[in-house]
Chains A and B, each alone.
Chain A
């Protein structure tokens, strides 16, 4: 999947168990209100990422307006979006394009 969307998927998490289905992408969008340190903390909390990886995606949100933070099955994508919403981040899920 990363080969087909190199412009979108820089380093998303991927659930390999559902690789035969069209995956869903979890996208976090920029919001000028959310503090950068807060967004980074949320990424660490939700995805268990290191500080460096969290800050990389936070900066991608900040500079590019959005960052794909995960890809995989719908059910798990919903869970992640719900978790990100619980921290009030602007997160959506969308189908990966063929």
Chain B
């Protein structure tokens, strides 16, 4: 599988093996549905203050969940544009619109968090360098976590190439005192 920034400035994956293409097609799955235990990690408590917890559950968490859903819809749309090449051993390609990259990063992260929580992978298991045992669901889940991390890294590097450290540059003192630092880029 190759990764590059297209002439249009979009992240572009090419020569995607059908097996990996199937894994990509699973990115837009609903983590709350597929990983009910892992889904709890996606909406962590903001602290221990009871008033804050109630406010969070009533207002913030529903909004966050709605935003995650919107991100997944964008990802799902992009997956629908994946192209299958021709030839004896056809491979897939995927171009992600630049303005969808944040949605991909969040969706990939949510899925990885849900899978890891669901399967209870330890930090040591996540860091291991040997190939996972693909004869088990556990091993396949670990492969997914690592593959989706690879996709995230590609997209993050693509952003670096595109932005060349645009966010926060020249803002060493932090921009918050003026109240204008949120989502600066």
Contacts and interface: CB of A to CB of B under 8 A. Distances in A.
Interface in A11-53: 13-16, 31-35, 37-38, 41, 44-53
Interface string B157-185: 10100000101111110111100011111
A38 B148 CA distance: 13
B165 to A, nearest CB: 5
B156 interface: yes
A90 interface: yes
A71 to B, nearest CB: 10
Contact of B47 (A72, A87, A92): A92
B76 interface: no
B185 A15 contact: no
A31 B153 CA distance: 17
Contacts, number: 119
Given A32-B123, A35-B149, A92 B168 contact: no
Contacts of B52: 78, 93
B176 A70 contact: yes
Given A35-B149, A46-B182, A82-B64, A94 B113 contact: no
Given A33-B126, A37-B156, A93-B52, A88 B174 contact: no
A53 B170 CA distance: 11
A94 B153 contact: no
Given A37-B156, A86-B64, A91-B46, A47 B106 contact: no
B174 A47 contact: yes
B44 interface: yes
Given A50-B171, A85-B44, A37 B153 contact: yes
Contacts of A13: 174, 176-177
Given A35-B153, A44-B167, A83-B182, A88 B67 contact: no
B75 interface: no
Interface of B: 42-49, 52, 60, 64, 67, 105-106, 109-110, 112-113, 116, 123, 126-127, 145, 149, 152-153, 156-157, 159, 165, 167-172, 174-177, 181-185
Query: Which 9 residue pairs across A and B have the least CB separation, nearest first?
Result: A48-B184, A48-B181, A32-B123, A44-B167, A48-B175, A92-B47, A49-B168, A13-B176, A44-B168
